[in-house]
Chain A
Amino acid sequence: MADAVHSGRLERVDASASGASASAAASQTHRISSGGLIDRTKPLSFTFDGKAMTGFAGDTLASALVANGVKLVGRSFKYHRPRGILTAGAEEPNALVELRGGARREPNTRATMAELYDGLEAVSQNRWPSLRHDFMAVNSLASPIFVAGFYYKTFMWPAKLWEKLYEPAIRRAAGLGKASGAPDPDHYERAWTHCDVLVVGSGPAGLSAALAAGRAGARVILCEEDSALGGRLLADGGEIDGAPASDWLARAVAELESLPDVRIMRRTVTFGVYDGGTFGALERVNDNVPVPPEHQPRQRLWRIIAKRAIVAAGAHERPLVFPGNDRPGVMMASAVRTYVNRFAALPGRRVAVFTNNDDGWRTVEAIRRAGGEVVAVIDPREPTAIRGRAGGAGANVLRGVVTGVKGGVDGVSGVQVSVAGDGTREIAADCLAMSGGWNPSVGLSSYHRGRPVWRDDIAAFVPGQCPPGMVLVGSANGDFSLGICLEAGHEAGTRAAADCGASASAGRAATATDEKFSIHPLWHVKGKGKSFVDFQHDVSASDVLLAQREGFESVEHLKRYTTLGMATDQGKLSNVNGLAIMAEATGRSISDTGTTIYRPPASPVAIGAFAGPNRDEHFHAARLTPSHHWAAERGAVFVDTGLWKRAQWYPIAGETDWLQSVTREVLAVRNGVGFCDVSTLGKIDVQGKDAGTFLDRVYINTFSNLGIGKARYGLMLREDGIVMDDGTTSRLAEDHYLLTTTTAKAGPVMQHLEFCRQVLWPELDVQLTSVTDQWSQFSIAGPKTRDLLKAIVDPSEDLSNEGFPFMGVRDVTLRGGMRARLYRISFSGEIAFEIGVPARYGDALARNLMVAGEPFGVTPYGTEALGVMRIEKGHVAGPELNGTTTAADLGLGKMMSKKKDYIGRVMAGREALTALNRQVVVGLKPVDTAARLRGGAHIIPKGAVPGPTTDQGYVTSVCYSPMLKQWIGLALVERGRERHGEIVTIHDPLRAGDILAEITSPVFYDPEGVRQRG
Chain B
Amino acid sequence: MAEFAWKSRSPLAHAVEPGRAGARAGAAGVTLTEIRDFALVQVMARRGTWAETARVAQQLWGIDAPGGPKAVFGQDVTLVGSGPDQFFVLSKGSSVQDPVEPLKQAFAGIASMTDQSDGRCMISLSGPRVRDTLAKFCSLDLHDSVFPVGAAAATSVDHSAVTLWRAPNADGGSPLYNLLVFTSFADSIWHLITESAAEYGAELGYAA
**Chain A residues proximal to chain B, CB less than 8 Å:** 189-194, 219, 294-297, 303, 305, 613-614, 618, 620-626, 629, 644, 679, 685, 687-690, 735-736, 763-767, 769-776, 791-792, 795, 814-819, 838-844, 848, 851-852
Contacts and interface: CB of A to CB of B under 8 A. Distances in A.
Interface in B170-208: 182-189, 191-192, 195-196, 198-199
Contact of B4 (A622, A765, A816): A816
B135 A192 contact: yes
A613 B4 contact: no
A816 B182 CA distance: 27
Contacts of A625: 184
Which 5 pairs, one residue from A and one from B, show the smallest C-beta to C-beta distance? Answer: A774-B119, A687-B112, A765-B47, A839-B118, A623-B184
B184 A629 contact: no
Interface in B121-174: 135-136, 138-141, 143, 146, 158-160
B57 interface: no
Q: Which of B42, B114, B198 has the most CB of A within 10 A?
A: B114
B27 interface: no
Contacts of B188: 618, 621-624
Nearest to A852: B4
A623 B97 CA distance: 26
A767 B11 contact: no
Contact of B119 (A296, A687, A839): A839
A305 B143 CA distance: 13
A792 B5 CA distance: 11
Contacts of A622: 187-188
Given A191-B135, A622-B187, A815 B46 contact: no
Contacts of B46: 688-689, 765, 767
Interface in B1-46: 1-11, 13-14, 22-23, 42, 44, 46
A623 B186 CA distance: 8
A818 B143 contact: no
A816 B118 contact: no
Q: Which of B3, B112, B138, B146 has the most CB of A within 10 A?
A: B112
Given A767-B44, A838-B95, A621 B189 contact: yes
A865 B3 CA distance: 30
A815 B1 contact: yes
Nearest to B140: A192
A193 B135 CA distance: 7
Interface string B75-117: 0000000000010000000011110000000000100101111
B70 interface: no
B98 to A, nearest CB: 6
A791 B120 CA distance: 30
Given A295-B22, A295-B23, A774 B195 contact: no
Interface of B: 1-11, 13-14, 22-23, 42, 44, 46-48, 86, 95-98, 109, 112, 114-120, 135-136, 138-141, 143, 146, 158-160, 182-189, 191-192, 195-196, 198-199
Nearest to B142: A194
A736 B14 CA distance: 35
A772 B116 CA distance: 10
Contact of A841 (B1, B2, B8, B48): B8
Q: Which of B8, B118, B192 has the most CB of A within 10 A?
A: B118
Which DSSP category, helix, strand, loop or mixed, fits chain B's interface?
Answer: loop
B65 to A, nearest CB: 15
A947 B191 CA distance: 51
A624 B11 contact: yes
A689 B111 CA distance: 11
Q: Which of B135, B182, B195 has the most CB of A within 10 A?
A: B135
A651 to B, nearest CB: 21
Contact of B44 (A191, A614, A769, A851): A769
A909 to B, nearest CB: 32
A295 B198 contact: yes
Nearest to A691: B112
Contacts of A303: 139
Nearest to B7: A844
B14 A764 contact: no
Contact of A771 (B1, B13, B112, B116): B116
A192 B139 contact: yes
Contact of A844 (B6, B44, B191): B6
Nearest to B97: A819
A840 B143 contact: no
Q: Which of B4, B8, B47, B96 has the most CB of A within 10 A?
A: B4
A54 B1 CA distance: 82
Contact of A295 (B136, B143, B183, B199): B199
Q: Which of A189, A191, A816 has the most CB of B within 10 A?
A: A191
Nearest to A305: B141
Contacts of A816: 3-6
Nearest to B94: A840
A192 B4 CA distance: 48
Contact of A626 (B11, B48, B86): B11
Given A764-B47, A817-B6, A844-B6, A629 B13 contact: yes
24 contacts: A194-B143, A219-B143, A297-B199, A303-B139, A305-B141, A623-B184, A624-B188, A626-B9, A679-B184, A688-B47, A689-B46, A689-B109, A765-B48, A767-B112, A769-B42, A769-B44, A773-B120, A774-B117, A774-B118, A775-B118, A819-B98, A839-B119, A840-B8, A840-B10
Contacts of B135: 191-193
B114 A773 contact: no
Contacts of A851: 2, 4
B183 A839 contact: yes
B116 to A, nearest CB: 6
Contacts of B44: 687, 767, 769
A735 B86 CA distance: 18
A296 B114 contact: no
Q: Which of B9, B86, B141 has the most CB of A within 10 A?
A: B9
Contacts of A688: 46-47, 112
Nearest to A294: B23
Contact of B114 (A618, A629, A769, A817): A769
Contact of A791 (B1, B119, B187, B199): B1
B118 A840 contact: yes
A193 B182 CA distance: 25
A848 B141 contact: no
A368 B46 CA distance: 83
A776 B23 CA distance: 37
A815 B112 CA distance: 30
A774 B95 CA distance: 10
Contacts of B140: 192
A843 B4 contact: no
A815 B6 CA distance: 9
B6 A841 contact: yes
B115 A774 contact: yes
Contacts of B42: 769
Contacts of A843: 7, 9
A852 B1 CA distance: 9
A569 B7 CA distance: 62
Nearest to B98: A819
A736 B196 CA distance: 41
Contacts of A815: 1-4
Contacts of A690: 47
A814 B4 contact: yes
A767 B189 CA distance: 28
B119 A773 contact: yes
B114 A613 contact: no
A625 B2 CA distance: 27
Given A295-B198, A844-B9, A194 B141 contact: yes
A819 B95 CA distance: 9
Q: Which of A614, A687, A773, A844 has the most CB of B within 10 A?
A: A773
A685 B43 CA distance: 12
B6 A621 contact: no
A690 B46 CA distance: 10
Contact of A838 (B112, B117, B146): B117
Contacts of B10: 840
